[in-house]
Structure 1
């Protein structure tokens, strides 16, 4: 069903949320496989092939492949690439790179969507820190994804988490989104904002929470390929994302990975069933 308000937002039943968790598990396991596979000398197209095989072997379909003409099963964004990097046979990973891998899968008509940023071998302390800042901002956004809050509370939580860590660029042109029977749905979820503003969050909403944090300024631009977004100043960027359902017990992380178990317990979030 859809709730009519400031936006038309799809609400899910408990049974539908369970189906989304099933899709989310496939995304989670695929990202685990990709994290383990990342190493110097690989191409981003190599990673794309691994992802597509993992998703299809699980009985699902890659969400991204063919989406508005996108050619890959994942977005693979290296270093200064923020999001929407196209997998390529000529983009070879090198020691010290960082790569953001965004992955989506459709299972029985329901979508899962999640992203991680991975170090390629040993990376600088600066790079590792921006990855930590981005991931923590995501978790703070997730904590704000509760019935009774408003949409602006999510963006405010993300923005505050980033700003308390130092001078980082919080990308504003791109953000999170509703998710369900489509990958991108209402509402658009900004990574900045004012508390207690925007539509009211209610049980059954499912949102993708996905901050993008730059080492330099927040400013980005899109390349001529029509997809790849890069930092204007050429500095590196990190991207993390989870799909989340608002339930009576709190924010349920639909794309939770095994490595998130401790964090989910520490934050007091519902057990997603690993």
Structure 2
């Protein structure tokens, strides 16, 4: 069931999103060659808990961690690992959900480790720009397909990269995964019509090569945890925001304060 959120609920989600955004801003300073992905997990847990919130992914479908940390060709759902050390030139994606006072938020960001190769920088830029092209389509009266079509055209037609199909965005609140499904691909003018008060995530995942993905099992993991990689072994990027559809356009609830977000911010003093 899709619920339309009240101003009070949206404000609560924005406060949750501010905690999550704070984690990502902090990660900009600690992600560097030589750290393990487990150190990312430790930083995120401490930050979330010290700000009066909880990591929603812990316990969700049996997951044990606050973060999903995917490196290079790993697309999504990879676990943080003490034995996975980041190297210069890697790309690392950190995805997490936060609950503060009963309100959920969800965001993923990609980070270059040290000095990235030009093709990796290009991949990250294309994925980042695709996210915002999708956000621009999340307006009252548009359809879900308009979001995916804008992303897919930019990624595949204009930049000849792979727009992942199997993993998609979603509604959010009261749980981290709600209706509607929000694919990062699709046909303009098709799908559910967007209404004021809908809260959704948009999360394009872009591979340098094929859009297809495959599954792998984490080595030496007692739970035999499965995660996703690009099917051809090429690098992958992901960016994700939680947002609300309003009569004044889409408003990002997980903004990290970047200049691009200025027009997407809510004013709770109105």
Provide TM-score, normalisation by structure 1: 0.93
Q: In the alignment, what sits opposite 1:56?
A: 49
Aligned counterparts, 1:27-38, within 5 A: 27-38=20-31
TM superposition shift of 1:33: 0.8
TM superposition shift of 1:164: 4.4
Residue 263 in structure 1 maps to residue 260 in structure 2:
yes
Q: In the alignment, what sits opposite 1:47?
A: 40
Residue 191 in structure 1 maps to residue 184 in structure 2:
yes
Per-residue Cα deviation, 1:166-219 (whole angstroms, up to 9, x for no partner): 210100000100001100100111111111111110001000000000001011
Structure 1 residue ranges (4+ consecutive) displaced by more than 2 angstroms after TM superposition: 224-227, 268-273
Please give the secondary structure, in 1, of the residue aligned with 2:8.
helix
Q: In the alignment, what sits opposite 1:158?
A: 151
Unaligned 5+ residue runs, structure 1? 1-7
Please give the secondary structure, in 2, of the residue aligned with 1:204.
coil
- Distance, in Å, in 2 between the alignment partners of 1:222 and 1:70 is 17
Q: In the alignment, what sits opposite 1:104?
A: 97
Q: In the alignment, what sits opposite 2:253?
A: 254
- Distance, in Å, in 2 between the alignment partners of 1:228 and 1:270 is 33
**How many residue pairs are counted as aligned between the two chains?**
262
1:66 aligned residue (56, 59, 63) = 59
Residue 85 in structure 1 maps to residue 78 in structure 2:
yes
Please give the secondary structure, in 2, of the residue aligned with 1:235.
coil
- Distance, in Å, in 2 between the alignment partners of 1:245 and 1:271 is 9
TM superposition shift of 1:124: 0.2
TM superposition shift of 1:69: 1.3
Q: Say if 1:250 and 1:270, in contact at 8 Å, map to a contact too.
A: no
CA RMSD of aligned residues (A): 1.2
- Distance, in Å, in 1 between the alignment partners of 2:250 and 2:225 is 34
Q: In the alignment, what sits opposite 1:229?
A: 228
- Distance, in Å, in 2 between the alignment partners of 1:40 and 1:252 is 34
Q: In the alignment, what sits opposite 1:24?
A: 17
TM superposition shift of 1:272: 5.9
Provide TM-score, normalisation by structure 2: 0.94
Q: In the alignment, what sits opposite 2:140?
A: 147
Q: Say if 1:176 and 1:209, in contact at 8 Å, map to a contact too.
A: yes
